[in-house]
Amino acid sequence: MSLLFYIFSGLMLGFGTMVIVCRNPLSSALCLVISFLGLAALFVTLNAYFISVIQVLVYTGAVMVLFLFIIMLLDIREEKSKDWNFLAVGGGVVVLFGFVVQLISVLGGYEDGKQKMVPFPEDLSHEDVKMIGAEIFTNYNFHLQVLGVLLLVATIGVVVLSRRQGKEGSENN
């Protein structure tokens, strides 16, 4: 189990790093796919099968395709400047370093976090979709509706945004 955890973690972090290191956005997107697959596997190790599936379907399936699609559409190849912006890199390294130090110091003092995982109780092991469903449609029903409206608004927004700003559009904007 631990081994799998480290493998997938490594996968996730390694390709996550590749996302920001690759110069070509296309490669970045593909690396992100693999990173998210590793994340989905981590969800599985946490017994969150539904989330794992959603992660794969929504992110690696839909969202990443969208990314790739847009990258193709806009025909972006390499970043213009070949050189790294050293100021930005320096800033990033500073933040990375500071954040990691803080993370370790916080987690080092977090006693509850030292508990080891024990195997998932058998009776609940395949119940999660049902439980999440029950939760969403009872306690979080209203929130779900609001989310629906949000998605609707987003849809309309996307339509409005991607409309060509032509003759009839200039008046509205």
Partner 1 sequence: MTTAFIILLLPLVAAASNLFLLRKKANLSAYVSTLSAAICLVLTLGLIRQSDLKDLGSFNWIKIADFELNIGIELQGLGLGMILVVTLIGFLIHLFSLGYMREDAGKARYFSGLSLFMFSMTGIVFADNLAMMFIFWELVGVSSYLLIGHWYHKNTAAEAAKKAFFVNRIGDFGFMIGILLIWGAFGSVNFVEIEELLRNGKYDAGLLNWSVFCIFCGAIGKSAQVPLHVWLPDAMEGPTPVSALIHAATMVAAGVFMLTKVLFLIQVAPTAASVIQYVGAITALIAALMATQQNDIKKILAYSTLSQLGYMIMAVGFAGLWIGGESLGESASNAGFFHLYTHAFFKALLFLGSGAIIYACHHEQNIWKMGGLIGPMKITSITFLIATAALAGIYPLSGFYSKDAIMTVALNKPILLVIGSFVAFLTAFYMTRLCVVVFFGKARSWSAEEAKEVPLLMLVPLLVLTIGAIFAGQTFSYSWFVDPKKIPHPEGVLPFILTAIGVAGIVSGFFLYRGRDQEPYPVQVLAKKFYLDEIYIILVRIFQDAVAWVAKQIDELLIDKLLVRGGARLVTEIGSMLRGMQSGNLQGYAFLFGVGVILVLYIINAAIG
Partner 2 sequence: MPTLNEYLLMGGLLFVIGLCGVIIRSNIIVILMSLEMMLSAANLTLVAFWRFGGGEGLPAHSYNAQVMVFFVITVAAAEVAVGLAIIVALFRSRQTVEVEELRSMKG
Alpha-carbon gap, residue 166 to 173, rounded angstroms: 10
Task: State the binding partner of 45 from partner 2, partner 1, none, CB within 5 to 8 A by kind.
Answer: partner 2
Can residue 88 be called a binding residue for partner 1 (CB under 8 A)? yes
Q: List all residues 6 or more positions away from 19 whose beta carbon is below 8 Å from its beta carbon.
A: 28, 31, 32, 35
Can residue 105 be called a binding residue for partner 1 (CB under 8 A)? yes
Other beta carbons within 10 Å of 38: 20
Is residue 48 within 8 A of residue 36, CB to CB? The reply is no
In the set 73, 82, 109, 172, which binds partner 1 (CB under 8 A)? 109
Alpha-carbon gap, residue 151 to 166, rounded angstroms: 26
The smaller minimum CB distance to partner 2, of residues 93 and 126, is found at 93
Using CB under 8 A as the binding rule, the residues of this chain from 57 to 96 that contact partner 2 are 58-59, 62-63, 66-67, 70-71, 73-74, 76, 79-81, 84-85, 88-89, 91-93, 95-96
Can residue 157 be called a binding residue for partner 1 (CB under 8 A)? no
